[in-house]
C-alpha cells in the first residue's frame, strides 16, 4: 500500500458473474463510466480509441461531487489484466481497474485509487470515505453487468 503516511492508496474488489472479456470491455468504454462511477457525470476519449498507453480520457464530475473535469492518461495497460489512468493536471490521482478470471463466467475486479501528498488528517478520513465510495461503485458495476447477463447454459429448468 502507500509508503508515505500522507499518501492514500485504497483498493476495493468484488466478484462479478460475467466473463472477464465482458467486464473489461464494459469498464474500458467511457460511455459506461457514469453508469457505475458515482462521481462521473460523463466521460469521453480525448484521443482515438481503443485504449492503449498514452490514451487520454476526460471525465466530467457530477455537480454533487463538485462539478469539474479531469483528463486521465493511460500510464499502464495490460489487456485483459489491468489499466491504470493518471491525471495529467496538478491533481496527483491514479486509478487502476484490474481483472482476474475465476472460471469461464466469473471475474474478480479490483478498483484502486492512489493519491499523493495529502494532509495527515485528510488522508485518514479520505481512506475511509474512498473505500466506502469504491465499494458502492463496484456494486453498481456488478448490478449493471449482471442485470443483462445471458442465461447460463447449465441452468436446469
Total of domains in the chain: 1
Residue 89 counted as domain residue? yes
The alpha carbons of the chain give a radius of gyration, in whole angstroms, of: 16
Residue 1 counted as domain residue? no
Sequence-separated (6 or more) residues with CB below 8 Å from residue 34: 40, 41, 42, 43
Residue 155 counted as domain residue? no
SS3 call for 67: coil
Rounded to whole angstroms, how far apart are CA atoms 2 and 91?
17
Sequence-separated (6 or more) residues with CB below 8 Å from residue 74: 51, 52, 53, 54, 55, 56, 57, 83, 84, 85
Rounded to whole angstroms, how far apart are CA atoms 88 and 55?
11
At residue 2, the pLDDT reads 45
Domain that holds residue 41: 8-147
Residue 79 counted as domain residue? yes
Residue 138 counted as domain residue? yes
Query: For the domain that residue 70 is a member of, what is the CATH number?
Result: 3.30.530.20
For the entire predicted model, the pTM comes to: 0.85
Sequence-separated (6 or more) residues with CB below 8 Å from residue 70: 58, 59, 61, 87, 89, 91, 93
Question: Using one digit for the tens of pLDDT, what is the confidence trace for 124-152?
Answer: 778 888 999 999 999 999 999 998 665 55
Question: Using one digit for the tens of pLDDT, what is the confidence trace for 56-97?
Answer: 999 998 766 566 899 999 999 999 999 999 999 876 899 999
Amino acid at each position: 500500500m502507500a509508503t508515505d503516511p500522507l499518501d492514500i492508496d485504497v483498493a476495493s474488489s468484488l466478484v462479478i458473474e460475467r466473463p472477464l472479456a465482458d467486464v473489461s470491455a464494459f469498464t474500458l468504454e467511457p460511455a459506461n463510466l457514469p453508469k457505475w462511477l458515482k462521481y462521473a457525470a460523463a466521460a469521453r476519449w480525448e484521443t482515438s480509441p481503443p485504449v492503449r498507453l498514452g490514451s487520454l480520457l476526460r471525465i466530467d464530475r457530477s455537480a454533487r461531487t463538485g462539478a469539474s473535469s479531469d483528463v486521465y492518461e493511460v500510464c499502464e495497460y495490460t489487456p485483459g489484466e489491468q489499466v491504470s489512468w493518471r491525471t495529467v493536471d496538478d491533481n496527483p490521482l491514479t486509478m487502476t481497474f484490474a481483472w482476474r478470471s475465476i472460471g469461464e463466467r466469473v471475474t474478480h475486479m479490483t478498483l484502486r485509487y492512489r493519491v499523493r501528498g495529502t494532509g495527515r488528517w485528510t488522508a485518514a478520513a479520505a481512506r475511509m470515505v474512498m473505500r466506502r465510495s469504491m465499494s458502492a461503485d463496484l456494486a453498481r458495476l456488478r448490478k449493471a453487468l449482471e442485470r443483462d447477463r445471458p442465461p447460463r447454459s447449465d441452468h436446469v429448468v
